[in-house]
Amino acid sequence: MIYEIRKIAGVSELEQCHPFEISNFQWRSIYRPRARGRVGYIENKGFLVWLACEEVHPKADCVYNFDPVYTDSALNAYFQFDLTNDNYFNFEFNAKGTCIAAYGSVPHIRSNFSLDQITDLNIRPKVTPYGWQIIFSIPESTIYFYQPQAKWKKTRFFRCNFYKVSIHPDIEHYGSFAPVHCPTPDFHQTAYFAKARIV
């Protein structure tokens, strides 16, 4: 599986990017809302990511960044730009745009983004009568701050996965774009990230 990412000029061209479905539900998924997304690349600036879910009145109690949005109803995007090690970025959001953004290799010991880096993501949440969505940016400057030796810009290849999740027992679910082959819920597995390339 290779997800192809188109080069675009800005957010108005996101609809021209290849869509993907977050449709691999597993473990104790008692709730399976339809979720999808698109990713575009703006040359020398970074990535634009659109994530959306057909979920009316989503659970969104967390209001402060780095609160556990996975206890709400969350959309997540994980990226591994340097394929020479296991470090990766995780971006997790609820419908209010409350965000967890971090970097590292160990799931529970990671470096949280600074307030300025969170601001640079330019997070744009939107709730509609039919669901909710998030648009956010990943600046190249942020990628290189954490991974100065990453070769993704030369090779145009990296790895990623996208998730729809809640650990709340009333709506518990674990959906992913690329399947995750683990016996218990764990999305922090770079081995199961999908390949991506900029075209």
pLDDT tens readout for residues 83-99: 999 999 999 999 999 99
Distance CA 164, CA 61 (A): 16
* Contact criterion met (CB below 8 Å) for 22 and 175: yes
* Contact criterion met (CB below 8 Å) for 143 and 73: no
Domain 2-198 maps to which CATH number in 3.30.1520.10, 3.40.50.720, 1.10.1470.10, 2.60.40.1190?
2.60.40.1190
> Whole-prediction pTM value?
0.97
CA angle 146, 118, 76 (to 5 degrees): 85
The answer on pLDDT for 1 being more than 90 is no
Q: pLDDT tens digits for 96-146?
A: 999 999 999 988 889 999 999 999 999 999 999 999 999 999 999 999 999
Distance CA 110, CA 25 (A): 26
Please tell me whether residue 5 adopts helix, strand or coil conformation: strand
How high is the mean pLDDT of the chain?
A: 96
Q: Where are the domains of the chain?
A: 2-198
> Which helix (H) or strand (E) segment is 49 a member of?
strand 46-53
